[in-house]
């Protein structure tokens, strides 16, 4: 039986609730100080301008999370952007302000997302590869790869709620944009970005348009592709959730490839009737990203190997494809090759060493470090470690020098199979050959060592990073702290927590919940090991930095202080627990002890 229910209209948040949301995302300290009182006063004025909208409070709170200078808060409060008429622009001022105060490199990455439809579920890694192809990622001097820089950018945008997980919890690997945030990106990118559901000859693309995305091609375009004459300087052509009607697909491709010589990004993903590429693909010398996933492509032209700038090549789900071009070694800048679910190619993936490599040698061609590294990575993912190690030896015999990505891929495979000691040996080989380990290398080793409970070695890797000038992140500390807690070394775990605080190692939005669990686990461990002073010190640090205290932690603290007869600390913790509305029910025995103390 179909029933209708009365609609429930959601009300705006009260100023008090809105302040609570803002303060939580700004990590506002509860410590009473002149600076904090001034910041709270300014913050509450900012919250009033949010008009009870949770998204506005979340975004601005995230923006101010790492800013404690009163001038920064005052600048935001007194921004002229608040005066823009919301009805005219249809964008709430708080989101405009969040965008305005972003650094330029984050602004470009954010606006790029207007190429996607509303409610689109973003894959973090896929978006970063596109940013990289569009040259939106700035290389760092601290040894970080472009991919690592991209993850930092993504997390920065997520911290101000420009990206949100598609469902509750940290397990989701997909992200969405709120409709209001998407409207902001579309408004800002209108001049250079164009998105349409159906691309037809009447589609109004301006001369300044550089980036194009669409879902479908109109049949009216079958004999007339004037649209690409008007947009010959396009840098991006993206098909998103493509829906295709089979008509003259060869002509479509030829027209696109002949007219758009400036392309950096080209996607024919889900172009169901695409079974071949014309030779003219090799003329797109600026191309950095090519996606042919889920097509019926059967062969790839040798001219494709002229794309020496190509960084990302996606062939996922190309069930008819059986062979890669012979000249793949020419793609010296290739960083990412996706051949998942390309089943006929999978059958020969692990025979490339004996087959394609021999064929290349017979033709006088030498496989590049990219070819070797891609194959080593694939073999490690499939736990074929002997084959992967054999390929590394082949590289050396053939005079091809492995790079940091080659070594890191093999280390990852070794660590996942419980061979961290061999991975450490490989690290020494890598350093002797003057290859500096990067963040990925160190993270792989720390994960592997902690997995095998080799905590001393993991700490040594952390020290080694610092000596190289690299800053460990929350995940690395978290692995070591979790390992120490598992070994009941809570005092040492607390030392590393303090080290994180002193080193100003702040979690991203994606790792915040992990940091909360980590702090609570250490406090509870210290309590159970009867070290109340240290437990209370860490507890106060959590309160100061607005890290949520779990019910179990309150319980452990009260029990610990009751046992030790601390006459002033136990009531204080109990009061704060009641203030936080914690739902823990303390054992009757300890409740009676509390009464005796009071």
Within 8 A by CB and 6+ apart from 303, the residues are 279, 280, 281, 282, 283
**Residues 490/521, Cβ–Cβ less than 8 Å:** no
Q: What H or E segment, with its residue span, contains residue 520?
A: helix 512-528
Overall residue count recorded for the chain in this entry? 598
Q: CB within 8 A of 14, min separation 6: which ones?
A: 52
Q: What is the pLDDT of residue 360?
A: 47
Quickly list H helices, 433-489.
Answer: 439-451, 455-468, 474-486
Instruction: Identify the band that residue 353 occupies on the pLDDT scale cut at 50, 70 and 90.
Output: very low
pLDDT band per the 50, 70, 90 thresholds, residue 129: very high
For 2, other C-beta atoms within 10 Å of its C-beta total 3
| 8 A C-beta contact, residue 120 and residue 177 | yes
Mean pLDDT, residues 487-498 taken together: 77
pTM for the model: 0.61
Whether the predicted pLDDT of 517 surpasses 80: no
The ranges of the chain annotated as CATH 3.80.10.10 are 191-349
- 282: which DSSP letter? G
- Pairwise pLDDT comparison (62 vs 182), residue with the higher score: 182
Q: Is 70 exceeded by the pLDDT of residue 583?
A: no
Residue 354 pLDDT exceeds 50? no
Helix ranges (H only) for 64-191 are 70-77, 86-89, 93-100, 104-112, 124-133, 146-159, 179-188
Q: Which of 513, 591, 524, 588 is nearest to 551 (CA)?
A: 524
Name all contacts of 33-38 with Cβ < 8 Å and 24+ positions apart. Answer: 35/68, 35/70, 38/70
Characterize the bridge pairing of strands 174-176 and 122-123: antiparallel
Cα–Cα dist 14/27, whole Å:
20
Cα(115)–Cα(6) distance, integer angstroms? 37
Find the helix or strand (DSSP H, E) in which 123 lies: strand 122-123
Helix (H) or strand (E) holding 423: helix 420-432
CA-based torsion, 534, 540, 541, 543: positive or negative: positive
Pick the CATH number of 191-349 from 3.80.10.10, 3.30.70.100, 1.20.1090.10, 3.30.300.30: 3.80.10.10
Which range among 268-272, 425-429, 497-501 shows the weakest confidence by mean pLDDT? 497-501
Note the pLDDT of residue 89.
Answer: 67
Interval 501-521 mean pLDDT: 62
- CATH 1.10.10.10 in the chain: give the residue spans: 104-179
Q: Residue 174: pLDDT above 80?
A: yes
Position 585 pLDDT exceeds 50: no
pLDDT band at 244 (very low <50, low <70, confident <90, very high): low
Q: Do residues 289 and 338 make contact, with C-beta atoms less than 8 angstroms apart?
A: no
pLDDT, residue 286, reads: 94
> Has domain 104-179 been given CATH number 1.20.1510.10?
no
**Above 80 in pLDDT, residue 365?**
no
445 φ/ψ angles, rounded to the nearest 5 degrees: -65, -45
523-544 b/e (C-beta count within 10 Å ≥ 16 → b): bbbbbeeebbebbbebbebbee
Distance CA 253, CA 427 (A): 47
* CA dihedral over 300, 304, 308, 312, signed as positive or negative: negative
Ranges 111-120, 197-206, 315-324: which has the least confidence: 197-206
User: Who has greater pLDDT, 89 or 587?
Assistant: 89
Query: Is 411 within 8 Å of 441 (Cβ atoms)?
Result: yes
Look up tokens 């690299």; give the residue. 470
**How many angstroms separate the CA atoms of 188 and 220, rounded?**
30
Q: Among 162, 43, 142, 47, which residue's Cα sits nearest to residue 101?
A: 162
pLDDT for 312 equals 92
pLDDT for the residue 192: 92
Cβ neighbour number for residue 347 with a 10 Å cutoff: 10
Give the span between the Cα atoms of 215 and 269, in whole angstroms: 10
């Amino acid at each position: 039986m179909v029933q209708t229910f009365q609609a429930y209209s959601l009300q705006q948040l009260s100023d008090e609730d809105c302040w609570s949301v803002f303060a939580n995302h700004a990590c506002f300290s509860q410590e009473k100080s002149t600076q904090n009182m001034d910041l709270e006063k300014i913050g509450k004025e900012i919250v009033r301008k949010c008009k009870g909208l949770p998204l506005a409070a979340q975004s601005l709170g995230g923006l101010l999370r790492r800013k404690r200078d009163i001038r920064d808060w005052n600048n935001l409060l007194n921004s002229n952007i608040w005066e823009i008429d919301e009805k005219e622009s249809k964008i709430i001022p708080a989101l405009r302000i969040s965008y305005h105060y972003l650094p330029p490199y984050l602004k470009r990455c954010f606006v790029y997302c207007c190429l996607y439809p509303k409610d689109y579920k973003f894959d973090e890694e896929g978006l970063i590869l596109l940013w990289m192809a569009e040259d939106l990622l700035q290389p760092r001097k601290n040894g970080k790869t472009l991919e690592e820089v991209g993850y930092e950018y993504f997390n920065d945008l997520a911290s101000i709620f420009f990206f949100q997980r598609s469902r509750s919890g940290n397990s989701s690997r997909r992200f969405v944009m709120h409709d209001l945030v998407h409207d902001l990106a579309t408004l800002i990118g209108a001049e250079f970005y164009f998105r349409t559901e159906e691309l037809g000859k009447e589609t109004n693309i301006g001369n300044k348009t550089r980036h194009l995305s669409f879902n479908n091609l109109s049949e009216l375009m079958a004999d007339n592709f004037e649209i690409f004459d008007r947009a010959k300087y396009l840098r991006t052509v993206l098909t998103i959730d493509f829906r295709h009607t089979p008509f003259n697909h060869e002509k479509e491709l030829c027209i696109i490839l002949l007219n758009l010589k400036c392309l950096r990004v080209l996607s024919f993903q889900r172009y169901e009737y695409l079974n071949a590429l014309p030779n003219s693909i090799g003329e797109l010398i600026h191309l950095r990203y090519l996606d042919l996933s889920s097509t019926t492509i059967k062969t790839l032209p040798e001219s494709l190997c002229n794309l020496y700038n190509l960084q990302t090549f996606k062939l996922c789900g190309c069930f008819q494809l059986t062979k890669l071009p012979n000249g793949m070694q020419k793609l010296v800048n290739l960083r990412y090759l996706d051949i998942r679910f390309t089943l006929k190619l999978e059958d020969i993936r692990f025979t490339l060493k004996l087959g394609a490599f021999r064929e290349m040698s017979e033709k006088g061609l030498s496989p590049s470090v990219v070819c070797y590294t891609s194959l080593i990575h694939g073999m490690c993912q499939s736990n074929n470690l002997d084959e992967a190690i054999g390929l590394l030896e082949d590289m050396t015999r053939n005079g091809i020098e492995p790079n940091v990505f080659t070594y890191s891929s093999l280390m990852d495979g070794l660590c996942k199979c419980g061979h961290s000691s061999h991975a450490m040996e490989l690290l020494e080989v890598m350093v002797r050959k003057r290859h500096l380990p990067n963040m990925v290398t160190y993270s792989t080793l720390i994960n592997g060592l902690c997995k095998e409970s080799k905590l001393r070695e993991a700490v040594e890797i952390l020290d080694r990073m610092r000596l190289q000038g690299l800053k460990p992140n929350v995940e690395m500390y978290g692995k070591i702290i979790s390992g120490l807690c598992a070994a009941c070394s809570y005092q040492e775990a607390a030392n590393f927590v303090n080290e994180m605080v002193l080193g100003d190692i702040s979690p991203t939005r994606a790792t915040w919940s992990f940091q909360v669990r980590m702090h609570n686990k250490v406090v509870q461990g210290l309590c159970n090991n009867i070290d109340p002073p240290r437990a209370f010190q860490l507890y106060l640090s959590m309160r100061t930095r607005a890290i949520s205290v779990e019910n179990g932690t309150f319980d452990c603290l009260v029990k610990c202080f009751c046992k030790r007869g601390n006459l002033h600390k136990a009531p204080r913790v109990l009061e704060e627990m009641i203030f936080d509305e914690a739902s823990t029910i303390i054992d009757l025995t300890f409740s009676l002890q509390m009464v005796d103390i009071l």
